[in-house]
C-alpha cells in the first residue's frame, strides 16, 4: 500500500488494468498505457481518445464511474471535489489524489502515480520533460498578471503550477502572495498594477486577440492554456513554446 499526494493510504491492486481519470492532464498522461476506460467530458487529449465519458471534473457521474469497475480512479486536489472522491471511496474504489503546485512537484507526483497507482513503467515523455525544464531561471525578470476568467475577472494567485511555470521562465506573478489561489480582482486594480505582461491563456476562459487584450495597456501574451496549466506530456514542449509566446 502507498500514500497519494495527500498522504492518504490507497489500496491499489498489485495489477491495474482499468483506470478512470477525472483530470484532463492526467488523462493525457496515462492514455498511452492502454488501461484508461473512463475520462471526463473535458478530457480533450489525445484527440482520438475513445473511452466512456463520465461528465465533468466538478460533477462526475459517480454511478457510471462505479459501473466501469476501475482498479483506480485518478483525481486532483484542486480539480475535483472532496465530496465526490469520498463517495467513490465509500463505493469501494481506490482513489489516488495528486496535488501539483510546482514543476518539480509534477515530476515527483507523476512518477509516483505511474509506479503506485497505475502499476506502469515511467513513460519516456516524463524523462524528456525533465530534460526540457533543466535550465537556470533567467536573470532578467518581468512582472505579469495572469487572468483566467472575466465577468468577473479572476487571476492566478498563490501556490499554483501555472505561477511556477512562469517563474521558471523569468516571469513573476504579481499576485503570487495573494491570500487566495484564484482571487477575483476588479479590472481597474489589474490595470493599475502596471505589469510588464498580461498573460492570457485560452482556457478555462477562451481569451483571444479580440477578447482580453483590449482591456490592458500592457503587452498581452496569448498562450496555450494546455501548455501553461497542464502537467503531463505537454511539459515536453511547454518551455520553448511558452517562451516564444511570451516574447522578450
pLDDT tens digits for 93-118? 999 999 999 999 999 999 999 999 99
* Residue 137 domain flag: no
Domain co-membership, 6 together with 96 = yes
Domain co-membership, 177 together with 232 = yes
Domain co-membership, 115 together with 10 = yes
* Residue 179 domain flag: yes
* Residue 133 domain flag: no
Element holding 110 (H helix, E strand): helix 103-112
* Residue 136 domain flag: no
Q: What is the pTM of this model?
A: 0.94
* Residue 16 domain flag: yes
Domain co-membership, 112 together with 16 = yes
Cell of 206: 477562451
Total number of domains constituting the chain: 2
Residue 28: domain span: 2-122
* Residue 132 domain flag: no
Query: For residue 187, what pLDDT is reported?
Result: 98
pLDDT tens-place string over residues 32-80: 999 999 999 999 999 999 999 999 999 999 999 999 999 999 999 999 9
Query: For residue 1, what pLDDT is reported?
Result: 78
Domain co-membership, 88 together with 160 = no
Query: For residue 132, what pLDDT is reported?
Result: 98
Give the separation between CA 241 and CA 202, rounded to whole angstroms: 14
pLDDT tens-place string over residues 158-171: 999 999 999 999 99
Amino acid at each position: 500500500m502507498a500514500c497519494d499526494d495527500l498522504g492518504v493510504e490507497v489500496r491499489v491492486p498489485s495489477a491495474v488494468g482499468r483506470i478512470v481519470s477525472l483530470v484532463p492532464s492526467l488523462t493525457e498522461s496515462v492514455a498511452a498505457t492502454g488501461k484508461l476506460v473512463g475520462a471526463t467530458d473535458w478530457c480533450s487529449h489525445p484527440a482520438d481518445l475513445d473511452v466512456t465519458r463520465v461528465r465533468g471534473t466538478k460533477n462526475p457521474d459517480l454511478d457510471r464511474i462505479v459501473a466501469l469497475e476501475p482498479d483506480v480512479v485518478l483525481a486532483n486536489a484542486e480539480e475535483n471535489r472532496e465530496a465526490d472522491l469520498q463517495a467513490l471511496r465509500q463505493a469501494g474504489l481506490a482513489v489516488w489524489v495528486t496535488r501539483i503546485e510546482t514543476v518539480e512537484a509534477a515530476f515527483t507526483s507523476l512518477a509516483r502515480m505511474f509506479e503506485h497507482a497505475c502499476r506502469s513503467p515511467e513513460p519516456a515523455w516524463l524523462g524528456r520533460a525533465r530534460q526540457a525544464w533543466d535550465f537556470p531561471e533567467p536573470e532578467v525578470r518581468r512582472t505579469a498578471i495572469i487572468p483566467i476568467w472575466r465577468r468577473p475577472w479572476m487571476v492566478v494567485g498563490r501556490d499554483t503550477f501555472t505561477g511556477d511555470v512562469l517563474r521558471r521562465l523569468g516571469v513573476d506573478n504579481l499576485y503570487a502572495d495573494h491570500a487566495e489561489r484564484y482571487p477575483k480582482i476588479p479590472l481597474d486594480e489589474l490595470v493599475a498594477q502596471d505589469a510588464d505582461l498580461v498573460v492570457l491563456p485560452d482556457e478555462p476562459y477562451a481569451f483571444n486577440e479580440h477578447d482580453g487584450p483590449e482591456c490592458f495597456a500592457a503587452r498581452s501574451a496569448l498562450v496555450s492554456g494546455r501548455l501553461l496549466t497542464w502537467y503531463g506530456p505537454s511539459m515536453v514542449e511547454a518551455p520553448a513554446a511558452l517562451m516564444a509566446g511570451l516574447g522578450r
